[in-house]
Amino acid sequence: MDNWINLYRASHTLEAHALKGALEAEGVVVRLNGDGLFGALGDLPVDMLQVTLLVRGEDRSKAGRVIERYQQRQGNGWLCGQCGEENGANFEVCWRCHHDPHDI
């Protein structure tokens, strides 16, 4: 039996899917809880539309690092070290040259 844990509570489904993609790119399997409520926008209180990301217990450390990186970038754009382009905080890779700033 898998041991799933609550990793993060996203404000909305778009944030949840962006994080899900980032986690899956690192090999972490993710389940979303509450994703289907987006259609009730306007009928439910905003806090009811939050989406919980669940990961397996053994992926907690790896997933936690991805979330930490995401939270550090919130509100902070970054400059690409390869082409010098300014990227918004929501970009995991450079939009112009596709350089991943986490590659060493």
- Under 8 Å between Cβ of 80 and 87: yes
Please report the pLDDT score of residue 60 as a whole number.
95
Q: 10: which strand partners?
A: 51
Q: Rounded CA gap, 58 and 19, in Å?
A: 18
Which token pair is 23?
Answer: 């986690």
72-102 pLDDT, tens digit per residue, is: 777 677 888 889 888 887 788 998 999 998 8
Stretch 21-50: mean pLDDT: 76
40-71 pLDDT, tens digit per residue, is: 555 555 555 689 999 999 999 999 999 988 88
Rg (CA), the chain: 15
- Residue 52, CA distances (Å) to 9, 20, 99 in order: 4, 10, 29
pTM beyond 0.85: the answer is no
How open is the CA angle 72-78-84, to the nearest 5 degrees? Answer: 160
Please report the pLDDT score of residue 3 as a whole number.
93
Q: How far apart are the first and last CA of the chain?
A: 37
